[in-house]
Amino acid sequence: MALIEAHSLGKAYGTTRAVNDLSFTVRPGSVTGFLGPNGSGKSTTMRLMLGLDRGEGTTTFDGVPFQQLDHPMRHVGALLEAKPFHPTRRARNHLRMLAVSNGIGDRRVDEVLALVGLESVARGRPGKFSLGMGQRLGIACALLGDPHTLILDEPSNGLDPQGIQWLRSLLQHLAKEGRSVFVSSHLLQEMSVLADELVVIGRGTMLANGPVQDFIQHSGLGSVEVRTPDGALLQPRLAALGAEVTTSDGTLVVRGVSAEQVGDEAHAAGARVHQLVTRQATLEEAFLEATGLSEEFRGGAS
């Protein structure tokens, strides 16, 4: 078991509410993606979960708050935005220091260095590491205690495409082993293939929480595209059902009704259908729709 339960998390900076009454659970065996626009409160939420910021609410790991865990690194592995590496302390020594203070043996240090692909630079100094190498060292720290729970803030930052694919397989593998993985990312395409569940926030407030597929389907942005020479027969029937219908190149683009309903109406109207395609919204489209009104920082039109 490795259940994370966050209850009524909240945090204000002066008069700004960065996080507002957030409650969610991260189930063992799943990757839960944490999405929100810039400045929506993701990093603050993760710090609150780990007791690194003072605020409202509680987070428990199998029922126990982070501060009350014996050897916390063995229970919860965390990667936060600010990397606390000493720039001149060699990577392996940094890991060894962490290991000793958490009762973890040297063998595990070498294991995690190999796991993140940093064996060849184990004696290198993080100050000279690229962004991606620093990120891999951060992931090694998070994995050091072989924890059953991971909280990772933008772990794919600075990773190249191979690195992102590697990280995806690693996190999915760890989740399959029964661990809980809570991970934030701005890479929505990546999140759509990585995550099972989502927590989506805007301006510190919960916008959606549940399976990725539900979030995409509820967006209302999916459509059914019908290629028909008899659009004039079909269109009014679909409109009468409440569908939103637009035409493009002899194809009706229908929103708000299912493919079955479109097929049935075409049959009833005697309209010939040459092609009928269901097009699902992308996670990016669903995310933009859900967070559109809650963006903290919005660029002007170019």
Ligand X SMILES: Nc1ncnc2c1ncn2[C@@H]1O[C@H](COP(=O)(O)OP(=O)(O)OP(=O)(O)O)[C@@H](O)[C@H]1O
Residues that bind ligand X (CB under 6 A): 13, 16, 18, 36, 38-44, 296
CB nearer to ligand X: pick between 34 and 129: 34
Task: For the CB of residue 218, give the shortest distance to ligand X in the complex, in Å.
Answer: 22
Residue that has been written with the tokens 């606390």 in this structure: 84
* SS3 (DSSP) at 68: helix
Contact 96, 106 (CB under 8 A): yes
192: which 2 tokens?
């759509």
Task: For the CB of residue 169, give the shortest distance to ligand X in the complex, in Å.
Answer: 25
CB nearer to ligand X: pick between 41 and 55: 41
Contact 58, 8 (CB under 8 A): yes
As beta bridge partners, residue 151 has 78, 182
Phi-psi region of 252 (alpha: psi -120 to 50; beta: other; left: phi over 0): beta
Look at residues 223, 224, 247 and name the one whose alpha carbon lies nearest to residue 235.
Answer: 247
Task: For the CB of residue 166, give the shortest distance to ligand X in the complex, in Å.
Answer: 23
CB nearer to ligand X: pick between 30 and 40: 40
Backbone angles phi, psi at 44, to 5 degrees: -60, -40
CB nearer to ligand X: pick between 264 and 296: 296
Give the torsion sign (CA, 104, 53, 131, 35).
positive
CB nearer to ligand X: pick between 46 and 121: 46
CB nearer to ligand X: pick between 199 and 234: 199
Task: For the CB of residue 232, give the shortest distance to ligand X in the complex, in Å.
Answer: 48
Task: For the CB of residue 28, give the shortest distance to ligand X in the complex, in Å.
Answer: 25
Task: For the CB of residue 14, give the shortest distance to ligand X in the complex, in Å.
Answer: 7
Secondary structure (H, E, C), 102-152? CCCCHHHHHHHHHHCCCHHHCCCCHHHCCHHHHHHHHHHHHHCCCCCEEEE
